[in-house]
Structure 1
Amino acid sequence: MSSASVFRPPNGPFPSNELPDLTPETLTNTDAFPKTWWVTTSTLPMWKTAKNVRITYTAIPSTDNIDDIIHYNPRSGPSATSATPEEAAKIVTKTIHGVDSPISKVPMDLTYKWRGKGWLFIASSKWQVVGYGGRNVRSVMGEREYILDGIEWVVTYFEKSLFTPAGVDVMTLAKEGVDEETMKEIGEGLKEVGGVVAELWKGVFDVPRD
């Protein structure tokens, strides 16, 4: 695999690689601003009827916990970018709000227990990052040169919970997602890991973004 991506089996360590270290700050902050990640690809049934799924992770001061808020629109609704004023007034945005508490004492492990907030307090699940990467491409003398520039995408694995089956999400910082070559590399990386993530990847589908 390219040095610009790295994968691990659930609950296993990441192998040595040339990417920047994966830390909680990878998910939560760009300088002083919280990051928003777009779910572009998934195996979770809950996203089969959704679009524009974006997750904002914000560090909770004086704790190791992360505020986790998801916004999404029903897939059957009007496009946010081409809707008429009348249609725009009918766009429904749904929210799932929770808190992620680290399970591991190792900051770079990124394994969390999610607990819902409000009426979702009874719901909980366990998730972790199982892959990540970042690569910019530029042309140098007519040839492609790959320049590492931070982490641009992550793959998260969710264990089966009381309310949801096991699944994986691919999240990107860019709304347009990753290119076809990178998505192919992600799929190959998860297949090499094997086990549950390789099996889940067989059911992968795209999550639309307006």
Structure 2
Amino acid sequence: MASQLTIGLPQIYASQGIKCVPPTNDFLAGTWHVTHSTLPMWKDKRNVNITYTILPADSSGVIKIDDLVSYQGVSSEKIKTVQGIDTPSPGNQGAWDWRGKGWLIIASSHWECLGFGHTDDGNQWVVTYFAKTLFTPAGIDIYARKKDGLSDTMIGDITQALKAFNVKEITDLAEGMFEVLQN
């Protein structure tokens, strides 16, 4: 069981309920393993990891996050990466706007923390919501610090908490959750 289960609502539903108290940047920093998702782009991928590196404050005092996603195809040894920068979403604590680096500079997305915490065995977890983009549907990811992820009980608790929002999009997404292979 989680020692902390803090689930809030994404920005698009902020008027319908509470928001997640966001994790600190120190909590986010480091590598996370995407263990469960609703995003179709991860169905044929494995070893999906996200590494957040906190950047120094810019001239206006905004602290951004370097965002590096790495993954492999299910039957490939080649590691692919996607890099971007997360900028805090103005007026929406716990939310970020991602902009790609390099040739992906034309791509952007919005993501929010729906919940985070740690398990009794010291594993940490984060649940993120990604708004629909030109290239991807809206989705939810569950991250864990440990590559072997979270217990089935913990995944069930998180899924039930998401369904308890009583917001159709979040409930529908939670019901479509699948495991992302980590090996």
TM-score range, shorter chain: 0.7 to 0.9
- Deviations along 1:70-98, whole A, 9 cap, x unmatched? 01000122xxxxxxxxxxxxx20000000
Give the alignment of 1:19-34 within 5 angstroms.
22-28=23-29
Out of 162, 170, 174, the residue aligned to residue 146 of structure 2 is 174
Give the alignment of 1:3-42 within 5 angstroms.
4-11=4-11, 12=14, 13-14=18-19, 22-28=23-29, 35-42=30-37
Out of 83, 87, 107, the residue aligned to residue 97 of structure 1 is 83
1:164 partnered with 2:150:
no
Q: Kindly tell me the number of residue pairs found equivalent between the two proteins.
A: 173
Q: What amino acid maps onto 1:205 in structure 2?
A: F
The structure 1 segments of at least 4 consecutive aligned residues displaced by more than 6 Å after TM superposition are none
Cα offset, 1:135, TM superposition: 2.1
**Distance (whole Å) between structure 2 residues aligned to residue 123 and residue 75 of structure 1:** 25
Look up the match of 1:121. 105
Task: Give the percent of matched residue pairs that are identical in Structure 1 and Structure 2.
Answer: 40
Q: Indicate how the Cα distance of structure 1 residues 3 and 104 shifts in structure 2: closer, same or farther if over 3 A, else same.
A: farther
- Deviations along 1:97-153, whole A, 9 cap, x unmatched? 0000001356xx22000000001011000000001121215xxxxxxxxxxx5x710
Cα offset, 1:3, TM superposition: 5.6
- Deviations along 1:144-190, whole A, 9 cap, x unmatched? xxxxx5x7101000000111110000000010000011011000000
Q: Indicate how the Cα distance of structure 1 residues 105 and 25 shifts in structure 2: closer, same or farther if over 3 A, else same.
A: farther
**Distance (whole Å) between structure 1 residues aligned to residue 51 and residue 150 of structure 2:** 19
Out of 41, 49, 62, the residue aligned to residue 46 of structure 1 is 41
- Structure 1 alignment gaps of length 5 or more: 29-34, 78-90, 138-148
Tell me the C-alpha RMSD between the 2 structures: 2.0
**Distance (whole Å) between structure 2 residues aligned to residue 167 and residue 15 of structure 1:** 17
TM-score by length of 2: 0.87
Kept after mapping to 2: 8 A contact 1:53/1:70: yes
Q: Secondary structure of 2:154's partner? A: helix
Q: Indicate how the Cα distance of structure 1 residues 152 and 43 shifts in structure 2: closer, same or farther if over 3 A, else same.
A: same
Higher Rg of the two aligned structures: 1
Cα offset, 1:201, TM superposition: 1.2
Look up the match of 1:199. 172
TM-score by length of 1: 0.77
Kept after mapping to 1: 8 A contact 2:127/2:143: yes
